[in-house]
Chains A and B, each alone.
Chain A
Amino acid sequence: AQSVSQHNHHVILSEAASLELGCNYSYGGTVNLFWYVQYPGQHLQLLLKYFSGDPLVKGIKGFEAEFIKSKFSFNLRKPSVQWSDTAEYFCAVKGTGGFKTIFGAGTRLFVKA
């Protein structure tokens, strides 16, 4: 069965610090990978996605993620966070050929101004 593990439930950083949120998945086949973000009081929205090609994916607001197939990982990174990055971040995986997108439990990021 597919599963997604996000290593940190809560992360607190100061502005300008670097960010890396871990995501590992369990699935034997080809996958589509996503990071979604939910800002306080707002909809869940897509941050970035990987389908094929370059394993380093760039998304909105300076975020990027790297797909490492051998490690079943899709970690999210940002070199310098801002207070406005305070949000909950969800990693998600969808196996090609299936209908389900499986979400991780989420990581709450709080950035201190």
Chain B
Amino acid sequence: ETGVTQTPRHLVMGMTNKKSLKCEQHLGHNAMYWYKQSAKKPLELMFVYSLEERVENNSVPSRFSPECPNSSHLFLHLHTLQPEDSALYLCASSQEMTGLASSTDTQYFGPGTRLTVL
């Protein structure tokens, strides 16, 4: 148990559906992240939130919409997705964002949501 939970663990949706992924961290961290993990590709950073403010949007299409209502919860709202969006979506948290070498930059990952878009 890493202290980061994600629901649902599996999701199958059609291209016209709207769904949301949820992430919750129980570690008292201030920063949260969404990553996309596709087969045979490096882990891709999608969004970063620090103290509930979005600090990074890594050129992600607008059909993915993040929401961070507080420092413990992070959502990823999905609408009109494409089959190529099928992947494992990972949430992570870290104690804080820093610009200096710091042990607080270590990220703790959730189990992921396996998304299939039909």
Residues of chain A whose beta carbon lies under 8 Å from any beta carbon of chain B:
4, 9, 30, 32, 34, 36, 42-46, 49, 51-52, 90, 92, 94, 96-106
Contact = CB atoms under 8 A, between A and B. Distances in A.
Contacts of B102: 32, 51
28 contacts: A30-B101, A32-B101, A32-B102, A36-B109, A42-B111, A43-B2, A43-B4, A43-B109, A44-B90, A44-B92, A45-B109, A46-B108, A51-B105, A92-B43, A96-B98, A96-B101, A97-B99, A97-B100, A99-B55, A99-B56, A99-B97, A100-B56, A100-B58, A101-B105, A102-B42, A103-B42, A104-B42, A105-B42
Given A44-B92, A52-B101, A102-B45, 6 more contacts: A43-B109, A45-B2, A49-B103, A94-B105, A99-B55, A100-B56
Nearest to B101: A51
Contacts, number: 63
Contacts of A96: 98-101
B107 interface: yes
Interface in B55-102: 55-56, 58, 90, 92, 97-102
A52 B101 CA distance: 7
B36 to A, nearest CB: 11
Contact of B41 (A45, A97, A105): A105
A99 B101 CA distance: 12
B106 A49 contact: yes
Nearest to A95: B99
A101 B102 CA distance: 13
